[in-house]
Amino acid sequence: MSGLPLYEAFPALQKLPRVALGNFPTPVQKLTTLGHDSLWIKRDDVSSALYGGNKVRKLEFTLAEAIVTGKKKVVTMGGIGTNHGLATAVFCRYLGLGCRLLLFWQPVTEHVKRNLLLFIRYDAELHYYKTMLKTGFMFYTKERMARNAYFLYAGGSSPLGTVGFVNAAFELKSQIEKGDLPEPDYIVCALGSAGTMAGLWLGARLAGLKSTVVGVRVTDRSLGPVPIANEKSVHSLIKKTYTLMNSVTPLPHINYTIPAILHDYCGEGYGYPTGACLDAIETMKHNEQIQLEPTYTGKTFAAVCDMIQKKEYANKTILYWHTYNSVDLSEEEKKVSYHQLPENLQWVFTN
């Protein structure tokens, strides 16, 4: 699909850089085995045959900007098992761009090990800075000395990347109008770097949807004084994205309200599995044959599982926005060895 539903509403936004990477619209389907009459899933896990998940929508815009500005390499950051980093590596190689990943520690799981091997498989240059604070500091200081590099925020959640999820809300509206699903009362998504939630929140308002977008926080609220995943960070990204789009074409006025965020599902922190998260992963795999993971989607769906047990949601339509990649990369993973990792990352496999 070359055109976007967002362009139909605001044609001038085609001036923004974009390269088509995904297969859109992604399907919606009803989840029928979990005891709720109107529970749905948005299958962004099948957003691309190369690597699915929510990052594709953001990378269509950010990697296009890297190309049109003449950059040769993309520098971004995340945990040692970052899905965003892997998506960036996959699509950078596809587009002929270099990729440098600045990494910080997160709890080691099998998912983390798989992603580390896949970083190597997709030609990413890895630099491990250990802590989130130091990694962020280096991203904004020493790393900026790199020539011909495009610096991409963690999670791809720049205002430009967030436009991809503004479009996603318009895509959902089209599916509602076609009768693919009823208009959700609640759209539930993971809240990490904020781009998915901010884009859906803004897009829903601009598209005229009445749905309440609910973010499930999966990382720290803030890093010192810097907001990461809280009401302030989401509100800030919404406003910056609106300002960017409004600079291209006049947008209708919107009333800003406090974003709805569930803070009780993060557990010990980013990447730490919780009991509820692991239960949700098993429930979804056993009942619906859909794979979740412990960093983002397991925690988010744990919140959905709690929602559908409460009387206040019994007659509501709930849409879970599935942001994980479902493309099987196990054969690609087998083609590399942990010995190809930088020495200061091999401990993930040897400890």
**Hey, what are 122's tokens?**
């997709």
Q: pTM score, two decimals? A: 0.95
Is 99 in contact with 92 (CB distance < 8 Å)?
A: yes
Give the separation between CA 164 and CA 24, rounded to whole angstroms.
11
CA distances from 149 to 65, 67, 76 (A): 12, 10, 10
The DSSP-derived string for 20-58 is --S-SSPPEEE--SSS-TTEEEEEGGGS-SSS-STHHHH
**Hey, what are 46's tokens?**
């099948």
Q: Could you read off the pLDDT tens digit of each residue along the chain, which spans 351 residues?
A: 347 999 999 999 999 999 999 999 999 999 999 999 999 999 999 999 999 999 999 999 999 999 999 999 999 999 999 999 999 999 999 999 999 999 999 999 999 999 999 999 999 999 999 999 999 999 999 999 988 999 999 988 999 999 999 999 999 999 999 999 999 999 999 999 999 999 999 999 999 999 999 999 999 998 878 888 999 999 999 999 999 999 999 999 999 999 999 999 999 999 999 999 999 999 999 999 999 999 999 999 999 999 999 999 999 999 999 999 999 999 999 999 999 999 999 999 998
Q: H or E segment at 223?
A: strand 222-223
Q: Which pLDDT value is given to residue 308?
A: 97
Sequence-separated (6 or more) residues with CB below 8 Å from residue 12: 248, 249
| Residue listed under structure tokens 């949807």 | 209
Q: Which pLDDT value is given to residue 70?
A: 97
Q: Of 319, 308, 54, which is closest to residue 183 (Cα–Cα)? A: 319
Segments in 208-342 forming alpha helices (H) = 231-248, 275-288, 297-307, 330-333
Q: Which pLDDT value is given to residue 1?
A: 39
Q: Which pLDDT value is given to residue 222?
A: 87
Phi, psi (deg, nearest 5) at residue 200: -65, -40
Task: Centre a 10 Å sphere on the Cβ of residue 70 and count the other Cβ atoms it contains.
Answer: 8
- Domains plus CATH for the chain? 5-53+162-322 (3.40.50.1100), 56-157 (3.40.50.1100)
| 3-state class (DSSP) for residue 266 | coil
